[in-house]
Amino acid sequence: MVFMAEAPPHLSPSSAATFDGCPRRWKFKYVDRLPEPSGQPAVVGTFAHSVLEGLCGLPPKQRTQEQAKALARALWPELEASEDYLALELSDDDSRAFRWQAWLAISGLWDLEDPTSVDVVATEQKVNATLHDVPFLGIIDRLERDNGKLIVSDYKSGKVPAIRWRDDKVQQIMLYAAAVAQTEQEQPERARLLYLGQEVLDFAVTDRRIEEASEQLAHTWSELQSSCDSEEFAAKPGVLCGWCPFATDCPEGLAELTRRQECGNLPSNAPAAILVA
């Protein structure tokens, strides 16, 4: 089935980041709707987020590791029956390793903070806002207060990225801050990326950072609409082709994988490396 490229009704941080990274990948995902199976790290992250959402929705004194374990046990049957989890086709040993990996992500919150001391305002808060004339939709992991000031926090279960790869993560959290400022009529003072079990990346929310993030969103929106109008979605070949689930449908992506394989600089842990092995 062929789908016409229509501009979406709004932009989310993930949709914007996908288009910025590679317009062709955006088309495969959002226009052609090709299946995009979630890898194990993504499923682990989704489960950890669900447990931490439940935990931080409890009264402060109840936010203990014992309670987190109870929540994980209660949520496990639902995850185990989900399509994303079943698609992983894990053996019994792999399933046990998955559960341990998920617990390390969940318990990693205590390496960063004492959850009983956090003044939680909301969890998984949906925000709709118009930023630089762009309809924006996002879901904030956690909104809290510290000394009366709002803080936007986002959980991350992956590795802390190198400095050169952090721009899109900072832009995302600043867009959340901008949306909160518009919907709550109060600009957050700080924004935090909580890399579970690793470290907290903490940023001051400033007018300049919000403006820069909003301008980039507007640029992405304009480029996306132009691509939809022309139905031309350029590929952006690069190292991330190794992690693209649509590599087999992209001649430029396959050519990039072949080139990197021949040059010896295709990461061996890249899932798509098997296509040119």
Q: How many CB atoms neighbour CB 267 within 10 A?
A: 12
Same structural domain, 215 and 194: yes
| Whole-number Å distance between alpha carbons of 65 and 79 | 20
Within a domain: 15: no
Same structural domain, 26 and 89: no
| Whole-number Å distance between alpha carbons of 248 and 235 | 13
Same structural domain, 188 and 140: yes
Within a domain: 17: no
Q: Three-state SS for 2?
A: coil
Number of domain units in the chain: 3
CATH number at residue 152: 3.90.320.10
Within a domain: 1: no
Q: pLDDT digit of tens for each residue in the chain (277 aa)?
A: 445 577 789 999 999 999 999 999 999 999 999 988 778 999 999 999 999 999 999 999 999 999 999 999 999 999 999 999 999 999 999 999 999 999 999 999 999 999 999 999 999 999 999 999 999 999 999 999 999 999 999 999 989 988 887 888 899 999 999 999 999 999 999 999 999 999 999 999 999 999 999 999 999 999 999 999 999 999 999 988 998 989 889 999 999 999 998 888 888 888 887 888 7
Same structural domain, 125 and 104: no
Same structural domain, 213 and 253: no
Two structure tokens written together for 259: 């080139």
Q: Residue 162 has what pLDDT?
A: 86
Same structural domain, 149 and 72: no
Within a domain: 13: no
Expressed as residue numbers, the domain containing 262 is 22-34+227-276
| Whole-number Å distance between alpha carbons of 26 and 31 | 8
| Whole-number Å distance between alpha carbons of 187 and 113 | 23
Q: Residue 3 has what pLDDT?
A: 56
Q: How many CB atoms neighbour CB 176 within 10 A?
A: 27
Same structural domain, 135 and 217: yes
Within a domain: 10: no
Same structural domain, 30 and 48: no
| Whole-number Å distance between alpha carbons of 68 and 33 | 35
Which domain-ending residue is among 180, 199, 221?
221
Within a domain: 3: no
Same structural domain, 138 and 217: yes
Within a domain: 12: no
Hey, what amino acid is at 140? I
Same structural domain, 29 and 86: no
Which domain-ending residue is among 221, 237, 255?
221
Same structural domain, 144 and 208: yes
Same structural domain, 134 and 83: no
Within a domain: 259: yes
Q: Residue 1 has what pLDDT?
A: 47
| Whole-number Å distance between alpha carbons of 81 and 84 | 9
| Whole-number Å distance between alpha carbons of 11 and 219 | 12
Q: Where are the beta strands (DSSP E) in the chain?
A: 119-131, 134-146, 149-156, 190-195, 199-204
Which domain-ending residue is among 61, 95, 111?
111
